[in-house]
Amino acid sequence: MRFKRMLLITNVHPDIPKISSHGLLGAQLAASLITANTPYRCQVLGVDPGANMDRLEKSIFAYFGNEQPVVGFSNLGGREELFILAERIRNGGGVTILGGPQAKVDFSGEIGWQRFPHRFHGWRNAFSLAVQGPGEQLFPILNRNSFEPQHLPGIVWHQNNKIISSPPNSWQEKFLQFVDWSNLNVFCDDDIQPVNIIQAQVVGAIGCPWARRLKTTFLDYPANLSDTYSHAKIRLSLRGCSFCDVAQDKGFIGRLSVQTVMHQLKQLPEYDGKKIPFELIDENPLPGLPRLLVAVQDEKLRVQRIDLVTRADWLVKNLEKIHDALELAQKMDVQIRLASIGFESFSPRILKQFNKGITLETNLAAIRFMRETKIRFPKHFAYSRREGCHHGFIHPTPWDTPEDWQAIQAVIQHHGLEKDILPAHSLPLIIHHASPLGIWMRAIEYNARFAYPRQNSWIAWWDEPQPKVHIF
Ligand code: SF4
């Protein structure tokens, strides 16, 4: 059989693209599946924000030579230049496919954009089609080699000014076992270059348990409207944290079996006789961690480090589990690193706006626990910034008042958070148009009769709103 080429482009962080598969795993799994099940040899291409787009476009066309370019795009981090690149490849005769979280809504545009033209219009013209949900839904299209619109699960396309789509298939564990470690590349020095990965990710769960249930909450208006709307609230039905577009998109699909995680783990590259450090993708990893360590021990695998990402409340609820896991990790000489805890804020009022479901006290209890545990397990437990951890702290937000900021500063100073907990830079609140906060923003725009600018798929709450928009 003659194999064809396919590229899968994804956004990567500028500091880590050459050594870490962070942010590449979704594309890596999809590319592994495509290569194993279709005539396409699919390679992942990570592109950081410093890449020169003209040279990247040239390299892509050169990569395909006489073949028609078939290029997937996934997890683009709201980067407009990558959507424009897709448009240019499509206009140049290529096939472009949008996948990953929020693929359908980024393809079709923000709700109601036809009536409210300041809203995000979507990138339907940049892509031949989009795929919502698991990547294996592309198999029939790639196997038939026909990119004509077809009614298939998860496939979304645009025809006669209409978006046409079919509901996606459910995720199947059997498609999450095989990971190809020879398909990762980055665009570097104006060239497509293979990556030598020394830190990896492994999927342990899909979605987030906090997004399992639909909840109703009431959010304040932004601080700059507090004179007009001092006691008013906006009612919101949401899944998960109010800013989390991925949880809104996926909800909680479930946790993978230990066997499936072990399949992935066995395929990890090794360094110095041990599996390279990996992050377990599971928002609530602690209940299953001792079981996973036992499986690693039973299989006689040697592992350097397991990175975990979780919430402060799930850490505090699972103290026994993490101590059990650490006793075992100590015997196995594996380090457990709490790579990122989503504290997000140290203001009770701002935490409430995030619908985070945690209190300031819970955040502080988690920090106390981490510091005490470090004393007990100095070598096999890591949690601090100097150990490479990056905990979540979102600031600024639209709700900030000088009083909130003073209160946050007082907590930071009183508990010495700048020593080990706070990241070098906080992240501003990002509002994706399809996140629960997107609904909140549109309600504010409607009630206050103004419009915030859009920055591609984000609502730019930090810019001046345009008053008296004609569409109202
Ligand atoms: S931000 Fe984290 S905890 Fe909140 S819903 Fe998203 S994945 Fe879950």
Expressed in angstroms and rounded, the spacing between residue 240 Cα and the centre of ligand 1 is: 6
Mark which of 140, 169, 194 sits at the end of a domain: 194
Same domain, 260 and 152: no
Residue 141 carries which side chain, given as an amino acid letter? I
Query: Which of 221, 246, 310, 288 has its CA nearest to residue 103?
Result: 246
Specify if 381 maps to a domain: yes
Q: pLDDT value at position 328?
A: 97
Instruction: Yes or no: say if 180 and 31 are a contact pair by the CB < 8 Å rule.
Output: yes
Same domain, 219 and 351: yes
Q: pLDDT value at position 21?
A: 63
Counting DSSP H helices and E strands in the chain, the numbers are 15, 24
Specify if 100 maps to a domain: yes
Specify if 457 maps to a domain: no
Same domain, 207 and 188: no
Same domain, 40 and 174: yes
Mark which of 405, 420, 435 sits at the end of a domain: 420
- Here the tokens at position 257 are 């079996």
Same domain, 221 and 370: yes
Q: What is the CATH number of the domain that holds 65?
A: 3.40.50
Expressed in angstroms and rounded, the spacing between residue 247 Cα and the centre of ligand 1 is: 6
pTM of the model: 0.94
Q: pLDDT value at position 15?
A: 66
- pLDDT, averaged per 10 consecutive residues of the chain (472 residues), comes to 89 69 84 96 95 97 97 94 98 97 95 94 97 95 88 94 94 93 92 89 95 94 90 94 89 94 96 95 96 97 97 96 96 97 97 97 98 98 97 97 96 98 96 97 94 96 81 52
Cα–Cα distance, 48 to 90 (Å, whole number): 21
Specify if 440 maps to a domain: no
Q: pLDDT value at position 470?
A: 56
Cα–Cα distance, 389 to 340 (Å, whole number): 6
Same domain, 364 and 415: yes
Q: pLDDT value at position 85?
A: 98
Same domain, 80 and 177: yes
Could you tell me the CA-to-CA distances from 194 to 125, 185, 424 in Å, in that order? Answer: 30, 4, 30
Same domain, 263 and 169: no
> Angle 244-250-255 (CA atoms, 0-180°, nearest 5)?
110
To test the pocket of ligand 1, the residue of 203, 206, 208, 249 to mutate (highest count of ligand atoms within 8 Å of its CB) is: 208
Same domain, 172 and 206: no
Expressed in angstroms and rounded, the spacing between residue 51 Cα and the centre of ligand 1 is: 30
Cα–Cα distance, 81 to 464 (Å, whole number): 23
Specify if 455 maps to a domain: no
32 Cβ partners below 8 Å, 6+ apart? Answer: 42, 178, 179, 180, 183
Query: Does ligand 1 lie within 6 Å of residue 110's CB atom?
Result: no
Specify if 428 maps to a domain: no
Specify if 76 maps to a domain: yes
Tally of CA atoms within 13 A in the half-sphere of 316 that contains its CB: 16
Q: pLDDT value at position 18?
A: 58
Cα–Cα distance, 188 to 275 (Å, whole number): 26
Same domain, 144 and 268: no
Which residues on adjacent β-strands are paired with residue 206?
Answer: 254
Q: pLDDT value at position 1?
A: 59
Specify if 172 maps to a domain: yes
3-state SS, residue 53: helix
Supply the range of the domain harboring residue 254: 200-420
Helix-, strand-, coil-residue percentages of the chain, each rounded to 5:
35, 25, 40
Mark which of 135, 160, 194 sits at the end of a domain: 194
Query: Which of 156, 135, 155, 168 has its CA nearest to residue 38?
Result: 135
Q: Total domain count for the chain?
A: 2
Give the CA radius of gyration of the chain.
Answer: 23
Same domain, 236 and 368: yes
Place of tokens 């059990």: 324
Same domain, 205 and 327: yes
Q: pLDDT value at position 469?
A: 56
Query: Does ligand 1 lie within 6 Å of residue 244's CB atom?
Result: yes
To test the pocket of ligand 1, the residue of 311, 345, 362, 363 to mutate (highest count of ligand atoms within 8 Å of its CB) is: 311
